[in-house]
């Protein structure tokens, strides 16, 4: 009887959607309807998220404050030891290895992650392996690791605006070239870099969104879009679940159909996390060749045969437009 009562209570709590029981299985998910979804933490472990849970007002106020961002600089002179740059503290930059005549890459993590999550060293080391550049890893873990996904979502615009203000201050006071600046963001981080580009007057030469977060972002005016930088590119790997599936950039790539399962993956969080892996590999090898599609259905079914366009890589002066499909492998370098 106690078990039945407990089950009844759970059922009552789940009004609007049943709790999925298989970790990582998001096959039930319907945007705008489902209440629960499995999301990966910084290590890729699935965590169940209630999309309808609301935060106390004080948490929402905190979520709108991106002043807690940290900016970690890595260069070929300090590949494994971060140097912390502080917005408004010019000595923190002058005493670092930042050089204004180098290209600058900015890397932003997603939900339930931090600056040390595996995607950051993977992408950072890839950039530094092929180019003498400044890599700035943005740590926004105080908001990204909020107990509530909605709180993190609400914090994205502020995090992005503070990042944009920091980059404007950096270029204006220490130097740098907007045409040599490349912003890269994964999941919620993709929307962060979109807001940063907007705040910086759409001047960054390139923005790359790695499977931009989907839940609560459909029709959201704060989402990453093609007008946030000079050239905006998106890699979709878990479209329709943890990632946005619609075309939102200048060039949208749909490797292996752009949905779960990606080769070598069985669950949605794995496919979502494949985007930063593909990007890190592309920076090192530049071997992913997309083919232009006539429409998104061709991309979904891997039937694209049009002109070629390289997916990913670190070429800041890259340009292109359209929907692209391609196939990749199941393991590194894919």
Instruction: Output the domain CATH number for residue 299.
Output: 3.40.50.1820
- Please give the Cα distance from 239 to 268 (Å, whole number): 9
Q: What is the pLDDT of residue 64?
A: 60
Is residue 12 situated within a structural domain?
Answer: no
pLDDT attached to residue 12 = 36
Name which of 137, 313, 156 is nearest 220 in CA terms.
156
10 is a domain residue = no
14 occurs within a structural domain:
no
| 132 counts as catalytic | no
Mean pLDDT of the chain: 92
Q: What is the pLDDT of residue 15?
A: 39
Residue tagged active-site, from 117, 187, 281, 282: 187
Q: What share of the chain is helix, strand, coil (3-state, %, to 5)?
A: 30, 20, 50
Q: Which residue out of 117, 139, 191, 211 is catalytically annotated?
A: 211
CA distance 28 to 26: 5
- Residue 102 domain boundaries: 19-326
Question: Considering its fold, how many domains does the chain have in total?
Answer: 1
**Which pLDDT score is estimated for 56?**
66
The answer to whether residue 96 sits within a structural domain is yes
Active site residue 187: yes
- 3-state SS, residue 269: helix
pLDDT in tens, 264-287: 999 999 999 999 999 999 999 999
- Catalytic, out of 272, 281, 282, 309: 272
pLDDT in tens, 90-137: 999 999 999 999 999 999 999 999 999 999 999 999 999 999 999 999
Average the pLDDT over 251-262 and give the result.
98
> In whole angstroms, what is the distance from residue 74 CA to residue 330 CA?
30
Residue 304 lies in a domain: yes
Quote the strand ranges of the chain, DSSP E: 36-40, 46-50, 70-74, 83-85, 104-108, 134-139, 181-186, 206-210, 232-235, 251-255, 289-292, 308-310, 322-326
Task: Say if 52 falls within a structural domain.
Answer: yes
Whether 247 maps to a domain, the answer reads: yes
The reported pTM is 0.93
Structure confidence at residue 61 (pLDDT): 61
Q: Cα separations (Å) of 272 from 24, 50, 262?
A: 11, 18, 9
Give the model's pLDDT for residue 9. Answer: 35
In whole angstroms, what separates CA 155 from the centre of its chain? 14
Poorest-pLDDT segment among 14-18, 73-77, 95-99, 150-154: 14-18
49-102 residue pLDDT tens: 999 887 666 655 655 668 899 999 999 999 999 999 999 999 999 999 999 999
pLDDT for res 145: 87
In a domain, 8, yes or no: no
């Amino acid at each position: 009887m106690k078990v039945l009562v407990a089950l009844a209570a759970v059922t009552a709590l789940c009004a609007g959607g049943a709790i999925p029981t298989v970790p990582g299985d998001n096959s039930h998910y319907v945007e705008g309807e489902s209440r629960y979804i499995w999301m990966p933490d910084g290590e890729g472990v699935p965590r169940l998220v209630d999309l309808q849970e609301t935060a106390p007002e004080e948490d929402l106020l905190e979520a709108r404050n991106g002043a807690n961002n940290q900016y970690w600089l890595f260069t070929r002179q300090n590949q494994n030891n971060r140097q912390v740059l502080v917005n408004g503290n010019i000595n923190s930059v002058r005493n670092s290895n930042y050089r204004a005549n180098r290209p600058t890459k900015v890397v932003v993590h997603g939900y339930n992650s931090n600056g040390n999550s595996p995607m950051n060293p993977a992408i950072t080391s890839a950039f530094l392996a092929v180019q003498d550049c400044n890599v700035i890893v943005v740590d926004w873990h105080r908001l990204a690791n909020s107990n509530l996904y909605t709180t993190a979502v609400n914090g994205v615009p502020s995090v992005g605006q503070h990042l944009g203000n920091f980059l404007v201050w950096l270029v204006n006071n220490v130097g740098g070239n907007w045409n040599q600046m490349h912003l890269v963001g994964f999941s919620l981080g993709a929307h962060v870099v979109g807001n940063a580009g907007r705040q910086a007057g759409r001047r960054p030469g390139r923005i790359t969104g790695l499977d931009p977060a989907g839940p609560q972002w459909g029709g959201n005016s704060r989402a990453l879009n093609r007008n946030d930088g000079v050239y905006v590119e998106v890699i979709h790997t878990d479209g329709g679940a943890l990632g946005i599936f619609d075309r939102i950039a200048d060039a949208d790539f749909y490797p292996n159909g752009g949905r779960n399962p990606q080769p070598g993956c069985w669950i949605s969080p794995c496919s979502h996390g494949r985007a930063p892996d593909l990007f890190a590999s592309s920076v090192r090898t530049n071997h992913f060749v997309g083919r232009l599609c006539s429409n998104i259905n061709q991309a979904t079914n891997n039937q694209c045969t049009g002109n070629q366009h390289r997916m990913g890589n670190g070429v800041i002066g890259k340009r292109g437009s359209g929907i692209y499909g391609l196939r990749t492998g199941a393991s590194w370098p894919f």
